[in-house]
Structure formats: structure tokens, C-alpha cells
Amino acid sequence: MSDDAKPKPVAVTLTPYARSLGIELEDAANDAGRNSHTLAIDFSRNIEGRPGHFHGGATAGLLEAAGYAILRATLDADNRQPILKPVNITVQYLSAGKQKRTYAQGRITRLGRRNANVTVEAWQDDRSRPIATAVMNILMAEPKT
């Protein structure tokens, strides 16, 4: 497949909450027809928890934003516009986030007609050593017309 024939990654629009934290799109790619979006956030006083470390809520916000970003991009590519309603989000904090740029990327583990399951990882220096992970279960309701 030529570069011109490859599907382009779908643009991601971050929520006002994500933008208020300073989360930004680091990278958007389309690998083998699948969207892949990496979000990133720089350490700042606004997201500091205990001195010198990320606040757990900021870490969870980054994970949640990355999960919704990959889900929304995938749905947009399929011309689907459901209303996304979280069923539950489980965050596992594996190590403290230091004063460094932090990245997160989600992966859809199951995409049905009404439900989606997404896993997300956040890391700093080494992607193979995540600082936190999340599992998201999301209900997708069709908008009323």
C-alpha cells in the first residue's frame, strides 16, 4: 500500500478538563489501519501532589483522556458518534510519577455495538515500565434524534 493510500489517523479533540491539566497530543499514527494516539503531560505545580511527584488525580486524568482519545478516534473512523458513558474505570498506581514528561496510550481490547473495553498505560522514561495502568468499561449510547 502506498503512503497516499494508507488511512490517515483521525484527529483527536481533547476535553476542556484534559486541556486544563496541560495534556496534549504527542503523537498520532495509523498502524495497519488502527489508530494509535499518545498523549503527554509535563510536570508542573498545577498537577503536583506530594512534593516533587504527580498527583494521583492528574495521573488518572491522563489515563482517562488517553482511553477516550483512542476510543473516540476509532469510532470516528467508523463514522459512529455514540454518547460515551463510563461504567467504571479502575486505575492501578504502580510507581510515583516524577518531575518528568509523562506519556499515556490506550488500546481497545473489545469494541462492541453498545460496550467498549479499553486498557491504558502511562509511563515516563521507559514504556516497558509503566507508572500506572487503567481498565475502562464504557457504555456507548446512540444519540436520540
Three-state SS string across 59-101, please?
Answer: HHHHHHHHHHHHHHHHHHHCCCCCEEEEEEEEEEECCCCCCCC
- Asked if residue 12 lies in contact with residue 37, where contact means CB atoms within 8 angstroms, the answer is yes
> Within 13 Å of residue 133, how many CA atoms lie on the same side as its CB?
9
Beta partners for residue 86, in sequence order: 138
**How far is residue 39's CA from residue 50's CA, in Å, rounded to a whole number?**
23
The 10s digit of each residue's pLDDT in 105-139 is 999 999 999 999 999 999 999 999 999 999 999 99
pTM: 0.85
CATH topology for 16-141 is Thiol Ester Dehydrase; Chain A (3.10.129)
5 or 56, higher pLDDT: 56
**Domains of the chain: which residue ranges?**
16-141
The 10s digit of each residue's pLDDT in 77-110 is 999 999 999 999 999 999 999 999 999 999 999 9
Cell of 54: 504527580
